[in-house]
Amino acid sequence: MALFISHATIDGGSYAKALAEALKSHGRECWYAPRDVRPGKHYPDEIIEALQKAEGVILLLTPLANRSTPVLQEIEAAVAWRKVIAPVVLNGTEPVGGLRLFVGVPHRIPWTGSEAVARALLTTFDERPQEVRSEAPATKSDKFRRVREVTNLRRQRASSE
């Protein structure tokens, strides 16, 4: 099963390629657009199919990814399918807007080179419990419960500071 790399092509495409190559050298396949979109196929359908089949999602967090509607849609779909999302931060980029809702809390991996990031991601995805790998989409109540959990965690952190 491949890992899905979500990124903005303009400022994250070269990183996606380097990371995919580094992960492949460790025996892990990756899927990312536009490289893996099959000719003649409907682009959004290809992305949804790849997300559904993905073991997990790697988000390359760049300034343009923060403002990218397609990246936000990919992350929303990943959350709906209960995929583990591993944010990789490039140039200290902090998530904003909708991305902050989805990846504002999890541990983030700073970009320190494709090989170092690949090793960190291998640890993340090789230790995932089997029950988290569910392909079933989340219900609306699951999504709202997740938002409440994130909100409560943020409140707890704020009150403890």
**CA–CA distances in Å: residue 96 to residues 37, 61, 70, 86, 160:** 28, 10, 15, 16, 23
Q: Does the pLDDT at position 157 exceed 80? A: no
Strands of the chain (E only): list them. 3-6, 30-31, 56-61, 85-89, 109-110
Question: What is the spatial order of strands in the sheet that 109-110 belongs to?
Answer: 30-31, 3-6, 56-61, 85-89, 109-110
Q: Does the pLDDT at position 65 exceed 60? A: yes
116-120: average pLDDT: 89
Q: Which two tokens stand for residue 133?
A: 């790998």
pLDDT for position 41: 92
92: left (phi over 0), alpha (psi -120 to 50) or beta: left
pLDDT for position 101: 86
Q: Quick one: what percent of the chain has pLDDT higher than 70? A: 77
Q: Does the pLDDT at position 32 exceed 90? A: yes
pLDDT for position 130: 39
Read off the pLDDT of residues 126-139 as tens digits, 9 standing for 90 and up. Answer: 765 433 334 444 55
pLDDT for position 127: 60
Q: Which domains does the chain have, with CATH numbers?
A: 3-135 (3.40.50.10140)
Report how far residue 26's alpha carbon sits from residue 14's, in angstroms, rounded to the nearest whole number: 19
42-46: average pLDDT: 92
> What global pTM score does this model have?
0.75
**Element holding 32 (H helix, E strand):** none
